[in-house]
Chain A
Amino acid sequence: DIQMTQSPSTLSASVGDRVTITCRASQSISSWLAWYQQKPGKAPKLLIYDASSLESGVPSRFSGSGSGTEFTLTISSLQPDDFATYYCQQYNSYLFTFGPGTKVDIK
C-alpha cells in the first residue's frame, strides 16, 4: 500500500497568516491527490482534488500544488473558519490511503 505522511502534525498560526501543509507519498502518485478539511464532530469536506483543482465553492485562499511524491496545501491568509484538521488522500491506487492529518490551531 502507498503510505502517506504529513507535516507538521500540528501547526499554530494566527488569523491572516500564510499556512503551508506538506503531504508526502511513499511512491509516486502523479497528481492523484485530494485535500480535505475536517472540523470536530463533522465529516471531512473536500477542498482540492487532482493535487491542484479547487473544489467548487471552496474559497480561493486555498490552493494545492505538487506532483509525484511531494504535495502542499496552502492557505494564503488564514481565516477564523479555517482552524481545523487537514488530511491528504491518494487515489493513484484504488487502495486509497489518507495522511495522518495536520491540526491547525490558534496561536
Chain B
Amino acid sequence: QLQLQESGPGLVKPSETLSLTCTVSGGSISSSSYYWGWIRQPPGKGLEWIGSIYYSGSTYYNTSLKSRVTISVDTSKNQFSLKLSSVTAADTAVYYCARQPPRITIFGVVTPSLNWFDPWGQGTLVTVSS
C-alpha cells in the first residue's frame, strides 16, 4: 500500500527558505505512471496546489507561487522535495504531498496525467515566525 510522509522543520523564520521532503514507501517514485504534488492548507482555510513533478524532473507550478517555488525529485531515495523561498507569515500552513494517478484506457493503456490527488500524506505544519 503506497504511503507518503512529509518531513522537515516545523518552524521557519521570515525571509528564509522552507524545505520539505516527501518520502514514498510501498511503491517507486520512478514509476512512469505518476505525477507527484504538493498542496498546502493555512490553518482553518482551504486547499492550495503548490506544484507537481514527474519522475523525470518535469515540473508544473502554481503561477502565484512560481517565483518562489522549486520542486525536485531524488529517485535514489524515493523522495521528492519542496523549497519555498522568502517566506512570510502567509506561508504558515499544513503542507501535504500526494500522488496523481494516471489515466488508464479501456484497453489498459496507462498514461501519466495531471489530475486528482490520491493518496495524500498526513501533512506537516510549518509555521513562519521569528
Given A1-B63, A43-B96, A43-B121, residue A98 in contact with residue B47 (CB < 8 A):
yes
Interfacial chain A residues near B121, Cβ < 8 Å = 43
Determine how close the nearest CB of chain B comes to the CB of A37; give it in whole angstroms. Answer: 12
C-alpha spacing A82/B105, complex, angstroms = 32
Contact, CB under 8 Å: A94 / B46: no
Interface size on B, residues (CB 8 A): 21
Interface SS of chain B? loop
CB pair B114 A43 closer than 8 Å: no
Bound Cα distance from A89 to B118, whole angstroms: 12
Q: Would A98 and B118 count as touching, CB distance under 8 A?
A: no
Residue in contact with A97 in the complex, picked from B49, B52, B96, B115, CB distance below 8 Å: B49
Which chain A residues numbered 76 to 107 have a C-beta less than 8 Å away from chain B?
87, 89, 91, 94-101
Residues in chain B within 8 A of chain A (CB atoms): 37, 46-49, 52, 60, 62-63, 96, 98, 114-123
6 A-B interface contacts by CB (under 8 A): A1-B63, A46-B118, A49-B115, A55-B118, A89-B117, A96-B49
